[in-house]
Amino acid sequence: MWGEIDIALRNQASAALAGAFQRDLPIVVDTSAVTFIDSAGIAFLVQICRIGQDEGLKVSLHDPPAAIRQTLRTLELDSLVAR
């Protein structure tokens, strides 16, 4: 993921999500280049983590910027994502 992660990326996010789970491997979401994330972006991260848990796959964030870490912490979702 890079740049601004918002509702405009909904279709791309859905396609990426489907492709990620077809491989049946641990999933690493590289968020190091994200400059902005809104509620739709956070919802995508939560969705990928929950589906991963349901499928028995480890999902982790790589190098999340402080803004993402703080948002997840504020929403009490930081434990959902391994780092």
Count the Cβ atoms, other than its own, within 10 Å of residue 52: 22
The rounded percent of the chain whose pLDDT value lies above 70 is 95
**Total number of domains in the chain:** 1
Q: Do the Cβ atoms of 59 and 80 come closer than 8 Å?
A: no
Which phi-psi region, left, alpha or beta, contains residue 59 (left: φ > 0; alpha: ψ -120 to 50)? beta
| CATH number for the domain that contains residue 49 | 3.30.750.24
For residues 65 and 62, what is the distance between their CA atoms, to the nearest angstrom? Answer: 9
Expressed as residue numbers, the domain containing 18 is 2-80
Q: What is the pTM of this model?
A: 0.76
Residues 18-39 pLDDT 10s = 777 777 788 888 889 999 888 8
Residues 1-15 pLDDT 10s = 888 888 888 778 778
The dihedral sign for the CA sequence 3, 20, 83, 37? positive
